[in-house]
């Protein structure tokens, strides 16, 4: 199964108020293994970034002046994510912005994210696994022992890499997410069971010292005691 762990940074909170995507970061998982394939791009939003957003991600208006427009990177982005399951923390936020951007690209012909991908929301998953607890990315890193000390500001690629670790920890032992508890089409559980080794398998043979070997061993300890004044083995 191909999954894309995805995060975006934006100029503000609401695309309906004209806010735009300014950074996209993606990492690829294939059968629950990181492949090393990534997609990362900064985007010129053609508008100012709200100061509150700059304080979150540290991306400035000046930095984005020479970056490509979303329309210029849309085809490569779509090619990278098409057919995959998107793994996103608080998916409605990112998907809402993606759909807003896709709608502005004439070549997209009205396509939405759901036309190209399925979406898994890890925030919703975390709320079901840990009800009543904080489930933001920092809290989940702390809960699962994931080092995010290098995360001083939000960044789309860094956050997607961290989210990949969180997702794999949250779904440890599972080959597919099954929040409903239903069985798969083959009638079996989707939980990958831990295989335990037979305790009788390949038991080590214990070799005990012979009487002659024990005598030689004691002679050696006598020598150690004589030369060193003591023998820890006999204490």
Which residue ranges make up the annotated binding site for substrate?
Answer: 7, 9, 52, 57, 159
- Binding residues for a divalent metal cation, by number, are 7, 9, 159
Token pair 């970056």 is at which residue? 67
Determine the 3-state secondary structure of 226 from DSSP: helix
Closest CA to 98 of 112, 83, 86: 112
The angle formed by the CA atoms of residues 41, 47 and 52, to the nearest 5 degrees, is 85
Token pair 């050696």 is at which residue? 220
CA 192 – CA 173 distance, rounded (Å): 5
Q: Per DSSP, which regions of 14-166 are E strands?
A: 21-30, 33-42, 85-88, 118-121
Active site residue 154: yes
CA 204 – CA 207 distance, rounded (Å): 9
CA 192 – CA 175 distance, rounded (Å): 6
Q: Which residues of 118-136 are buried (b: 16+ CB within 10 A; e: fewer)?
A: ebbbbbebbeeeeeeeebe
Answer yes or no: are the C-beta atoms of 160 and 26 closer than 8 Å.
yes
Catalytic pick among 89, 150, 154, 217: 154
Which positions are annotated as active-site residues? 154
């Amino acid at each position: 199964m191909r999954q894309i762990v995805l995060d975006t940074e934006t100029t503000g909170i609401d695309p309906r108020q004209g806010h735009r995507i300014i950074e996209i970061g993606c990492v690829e998982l294939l059968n629950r293994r990181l492949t090393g394939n990534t997609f990362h791009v900064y985007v010129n939003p053609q508008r100012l970034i709200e100061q509150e957003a700059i304080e979150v991600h540290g991306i400035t208006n000046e930095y984005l002046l020479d970056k490509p427009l979303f329309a210029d990177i849309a085809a490569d982005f779509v090619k990278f994510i098409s057919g995959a399951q998107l793994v996103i923390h608080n998916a409605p936020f990112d998907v809402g912005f993606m759909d807003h951007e896709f709608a502005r690209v004439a070549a997209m012909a009205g396509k939405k994210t759901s036309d190209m991908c399925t979406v898994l929301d890890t925030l919703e998953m975390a709320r079901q696994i840990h009800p009543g607890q904080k489930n933001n990315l920092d809290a989940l890193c702390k809960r699962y022992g994931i080092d995010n000390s290098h995360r001083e500001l939000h960044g789309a690629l860094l956050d997607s890499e961290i989210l990949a670790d969180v997702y794999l920890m949250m779904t440890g032992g599972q080959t597919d997410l099954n929040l409903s508890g239903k069985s798969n089409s083959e009638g079996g559980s989707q939980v990958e069971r831990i295989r335990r080794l037979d305790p009788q398998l390949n038991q080590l043979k214990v070799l005990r010292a012979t009487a002659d070997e024990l005598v030689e061993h004691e002679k050696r300890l006598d020598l150690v005691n004589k030369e060193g004044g003591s023998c820890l083995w006999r204490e």
